[in-house]
A and B are shown apart, each in its own frame.
Chain A
Amino acid sequence: DVQLVESGGGLVQPGRSLRLSCTTSGFTFGDYAVSWVRQAPGKGLEWVSFIRSKGYSGTAEYAASVKGRFTISRDDSKSIAYLQMDSLKTEDTAMYYCIRNIRVHGYYYKDVWGKGTAVTVSS
């Protein structure tokens, strides 16, 4: 079974940092791209970040709202993706989901989602 399990969420003060992990199993992690999507309480879905597989450069993309503050990375030896979140703001409060992405003809669509990890930024 393909599984993605997020962890690392919690309560953090504004301006501090947090690192989320996405631990995967059931597939060859290194062959896939990974996304992070968040959902603020009572709101819709917001794409946050994306990282390609190393076979397709391993480069990353970011939403404007997090660029320069968040860093996505991957450890293919451990089948884990990370989201390093620095300079956190209250508006970063959300459930964060990790998603596997499928590449077709250079475009990526999402298939399997994790259950999410909650991040609360508050003093």
Chain B
Amino acid sequence: DIQMTQSPSSLSASVGDTVIITCRASQGISNYLAWFQQKPGKAPKSLIYAASSLQSGVPSKFSGSGSGTEFTLTITNLQPEDFATYYCQHYNSFPLTFGPGTIVDFK
């Protein structure tokens, strides 16, 4: 099975900051990587697929990059509504696995 790790596990940031979250796969997954945002008490929301393609309606402040085993999610001009937990997930093969999540909270 492919294992997914994320770093950092949490980070504190301020409004207007740029944050970068890293996701690593235990083996190469090409670009079959998605990112999700989850706010407390809410269902996850799909942000990015194919490592760098934005889902419909997702603002361009979110961007993804990477291929193979290392990926990043970048959020620019952080706003109050962006404070949430972010998960990566590979879809290269079954079983699908998620990273453990990165909590972005207010400094």
Contacts and interface: CB of A to CB of B under 8 A. Distances in A.
Nearest to A2: B56
The B interface is mostly helix, strand or loop, or mixed, namely loop
B44 A107 contact: no
B50 A109 contact: yes
A115 B41 CA distance: 10
B32 A107 contact: yes
Contact of B95 (A63, A110, A113, A115): A63
A61 B91 CA distance: 13
Contact of B94 (A37, A50, A112, A113): A50
Given A44-B87, A113-B43, A116-B43, A64 B95 contact: yes
Given A107-B32, A108-B91, A113 B101 contact: no
B1 to A, nearest CB: 8
Interface of B: 32, 34, 36, 38, 42-46, 49-50, 55-56, 87, 89, 91-92, 94-101
Contact of A47 (B46, B95, B100): B95
Contacts of A114: 43
Contacts of A116: 43
The A interface is mostly helix, strand or loop, or mixed, namely strand
Interface residues of A, number: 23
Contacts of B89: 45, 47, 110
B43 A97 contact: yes
Contacts of A35: 96
A104 B97 CA distance: 19
A44 B46 contact: no
Interface string A24-63: 0000000000010100000011110010000000000101
